[in-house]
Amino acid sequence: MAADLGLCPSARPDDLNMADKAIFGIVGGTAEVPQVQYLPDLVPITDEMIEVWRESPVAPGEIMRATGRCKGEGCRQWNESTERWSLIDRWLIAIEPGPSLPDCALRPACRAWQQHKAEACWRCPNFASQTITGLAGDPLQRINLEKVYV
């Protein structure tokens, strides 16, 4: 039986192949400076929600942060040689830490927390799953954020 790797804090809300899907934050701010507002509890994602999202002109990942069971080796962000989730390692380089640790219902089971504790959590509010890729702001900021996805 595979080890429990925790919950992924960068899941796509509409990923049909992910188990234990839930919303844990709403993305606010701007495309240039996304800011996640955390929900007090995880909100399970239902099939009905996914059906509604299919009709929406806005991708769910642009307006919410979702979680799901970490796929480990089944994830393109998994580093097999270190057996770690590599996206969070890039967050630490590309995203400036915030001023305080956010209140987050995901934290106890979060893969990022498991790997980097508070260092990951300070950066999490400034990460928006899809809005980051569409940034039209400062070129240096865009280059840094694009490192997250390369």
Cα dihedral 54, 59, 65, 66 sign:
positive
Looking at the structure of the chain, the number of domains it has is 1
Alpha-carbon distance of 125 to 134, in angstroms, equals 17
Residue 79 bridge partners (DSSP): 84
In a domain, 2, yes or no: no
For residue 41, is it within any domain?
Answer: yes
Examine residue 43 and state whether it is found in any structural domain, yes or no: yes
Rounded CA separation 142/106 (Å)? 27
What letter would DSSP give residue 124? G
Mean of all residue pLDDT scores within the chain? 82
The whole-angstrom separation of Cα 26 and Cα 82 is: 31
The answer as to whether 1 is a domain residue is no
| 57 domain-assigned | yes
pTM for the model stands at 0.80
Residue range 33-63, pLDDT digits in tens: 778 899 999 999 998 998 888 888 877 887 8
Higher local confidence (pLDDT), 135 or 88: 88
Predicted local distance difference test score (pLDDT) of residue 2: 53
Return the DSSP state at 57.
S
SS3 106: coil
Confidence of residue 141 (pLDDT cuts 50, 70, 90): very low
Residue 45 included in any domain:
yes
> Residue 37: inside a domain, yes or no?
yes
Let me know if residue 98 belongs to a domain. yes
Residue 128, domain extent = 7-147
